[in-house]
Amino acid sequence: MERVILHSDLNNFYASVECLHRPEIRNKAVAVCGDPAARHGIVLAKNYLAKESGIQTGEVIWQAQQKCPELVVVPPNYPLYLKFSRLARSIYASYTDQVEAFGLDEAWLDVTGSIHIFGSGIEMADEIRERIKLELGVSASVGVSYNKIFAKLGSDMKKPDATTIISKDNFKQTAWPLPASDLLYVGRATCRKFARWGISTIGDIAESDPLVLKARLGKWGEVLWSFANGYDRSPVVAMGEESIIKSVGNSITTPRDLENNEDVLLIIYALSESVAARLREHGFKCRTVHIHVRDKNLFTFGVQGKLLRPGNISNDIAEKAMALFRSHYSWAHPIRSIGVRGCDLIAADSHEQLSLFTDEEKRIKQEKIEATLDTLRCRFGHFSVQRAVLLKDRELGSINPKEEHIIHPLAFFKGGKLP
Amino acid sequence: MMEEKHYCNPDKIYVSVKAVFYPDGGCKPTAVIWEDGREYEINRVTDIRRAASLKAGGVGIRYTCRVGNREVYLFLEEDRWFMEKKGTR
């Protein structure tokens, strides 16, 4: 049976929520921007009036203001966006239990099983849009299709507040003329390669020889070819309120550039504490630690390494992260941002192989200390207990990654695995 | 959790509300105390639904209430009640 998949995209999400709560700026060009003092001063979202002036997400504030001098810049209010995201999800949940969030503002719904209750996919899409408008005061675009890729493509085609259908009968007319870059996972690099080979539209990808694409792009070549042809079979992952966690990570653009290993150590401790605390909160241990480094020229790299044994203790994670950093970075330039991630997760209470050569008692003590820290911080706030090393530099040490930095983007294939 | 910022808006009036809480968990507002201290009795609640208030800027559970011979909206926004300043409907 053909599936019915919806993809709902809340239009200009952050900016829409801000405009709803501030009627006085509703008719002005608005951009939600990070804090320039903390060097997060880029456009995170903008409304349609700002879009008309050519303002783009990711631009720095002054660039945006040059394009539109009367631009209203507002700081983000993440807790409010999270609330709206939850509310939207509870609307989706009344149509199906198969809801897969893609960031805060997007979600796929598999409504195949609900068409006999609520009517066709289009009817459900229209009803969902109407409810989002009335109940949340923001608008949504919904794509209706028989696979996730085309559903997402559809929701991007007509904005704001519209339903777009891409069916088996019309996908060649609707999806194929679109630029290749509109397809999920065709990024800038792939796009450049495609251009070199004379591939400019989704139709061009679809009509290429999959073996040639595979030879040139590897596994992804074939995947993109199947996406373009509507052969995507990836399921909408049913999720509760909490998504299935495949990794836990935190990253931060630091208030000032990091100049040496000491600075980095400090940040890595702060990030590792947050990662470890979140792992414990969700009952996980990680087997692999991944770090991500961006220097001030925006050159970026990531490396990962296995822990000797699975853990959720901040010291272990920090030491591994620091070792990875030391062996892979030669300080060509100062560093702008750093991320630490624990992946390859296992349940914290699963059995593990003890080692004869490590001090188990010390380890148990460490676990107890960290659990105590969690309790203290829960009762008296994050900064009630701190590592001494973080006090060496107040500016860097005063960041609180656990509560202030939420990472949103999610991988399409959970855990980065190909279908 | 990071704290949610609240917005000030002249059209959004937070009010005191008298309400009955039922044993099954439901709740019905019975009177509103306006910002000037005057109390208005709610004769009837004719509709309850989730809704956004564009005028006041916010979302919540909207109670459509009959007060005197007027129909007004009363919003429950998490744990606070608000109304829209007059001239809304």
Question: Going by DSSP bridges, is the β-strand pair A30-33/A72-74 parallel, antiparallel, or unpaired?
Answer: parallel
Positions at the binding site of A for Mg(2+): 9, 105
Q: How many CB atoms within 10 Å of residue B73?
A: 19
Could you write out the DSSP letters of every residue in A320-345? Answer: HHHHHHHHH---SS-EEEEEEEEEEE
Average pLDDT over chain A, rounded to whole? 88
Please tell me the pTM assigned to this model.
Answer: 0.74
Q: What is the 3-state secondary structure (H, E, C) of A246-295?
A: CEEEEEEEEEEEECCHHHHHHHHHHHHHHHHHHHHHCCEEEEEEEEEEEE
Instruction: Provide the residue count of chain A.
Output: 419
Decide: helix, strand or coil at residue B23.
Answer: coil
What is the pLDDT averaged over residues A141-165? 95
Check CB contact under 8 Å for B58 and A21: yes
Task: Find all residues with CB under 8 Å of A370, minimum gap 6, and list them.
Answer: A276, A277, A280, A312, A313, A314
A106 in active site: yes
Which pLDDT value is given to residue A403?
67
Instruction: Provide the residue count of chain B.
Output: 89
Residue A370 tokens, joined: 């960290």
Q: Which of B3, B7, B82 to mutate to test the interface with A (most CBs of A within 10 A)?
A: B7
Confidence of residue A48 (pLDDT cuts 50, 70, 90): very high
Which pLDDT value is given to residue A155?
95
* Highest mean pLDDT, choosing among A72-76, A142-146, A391-395: A142-146
Confidence of residue A404 (pLDDT cuts 50, 70, 90): low
What CATH number belongs to A13-78? 3.40.1170.60
Which pLDDT value is given to residue A397?
77
Look at residue A409 and tell me whether its pLDDT is greater than 70: no
Distances (CA, A) of A237 to A35, A109, A144, A184, B79: 35, 9, 17, 17, 33
Q: What is the pLDDT of residues A182-194, one digit of tens each?
A: 999 888 888 999 9
| pLDDT lower than 50: segments of chain B | 1, 88-89
Which pLDDT value is given to residue A244?
58
Nearest CA to B67 out of B31, B19, B18 is that of B31
Q: How many CB atoms within 10 Å of residue A372?
A: 11
Asked if the A5-9+80-138+146-158+165-229 domain carries CATH number 3.30.70.270, the reply is: yes
Which pLDDT value is given to residue A124?
96
Q: Does B27 touch chain A (CB under 8 A)?
A: no
Confidence of residue A101 (pLDDT cuts 50, 70, 90): confident
Percent of the residues in chain A that have a pLDDT greater than 90, as a whole number = 60
**A37-41, A92-96, A212-216, A313-317: which range is least confident on average?**
A37-41
What CATH number belongs to A247-398? 3.30.1490.100
Which pLDDT value is given to residue A414?
47
Check CB contact under 8 Å for B52 and A135: yes
Which pLDDT value is given to residue A26?
92
Buried b (16+ CB within 10 A) or exposed e, A170-198: ebeebbbebebeebbebeeebbeebeeee
Which pLDDT value is given to residue A418?
45
Which pLDDT value is given to residue B87?
60
Look at residue A385 and tell me whether its pLDDT is greater than 50: yes
* B15: β partners: B81
Q: What DSSP element (H or E) covers B44?
A: strand B44-53
| Boundaries of every domain in chain A | 5-9+80-138+146-158+165-229, 13-78, 247-398
What is the pLDDT averaged over residues A383-395? 85
Look at residue A37 and tell me whether its pLDDT is greater than 90: no
What is the least distance, in Å, from the CA of A228 to any CA of chain B? 38
B-chain residues near A24 (CB < 8 A): 9
Look at residue A415 and tell me whether its pLDDT is greater than 60: no
Check CB contact under 8 Å for A403 and B57: no
Q: What is the pLDDT of residues A234-290, one digit of tens each?
A: 888 776 544 457 788 888 888 889 999 999 999 999 999 999 998 888 888 899 999
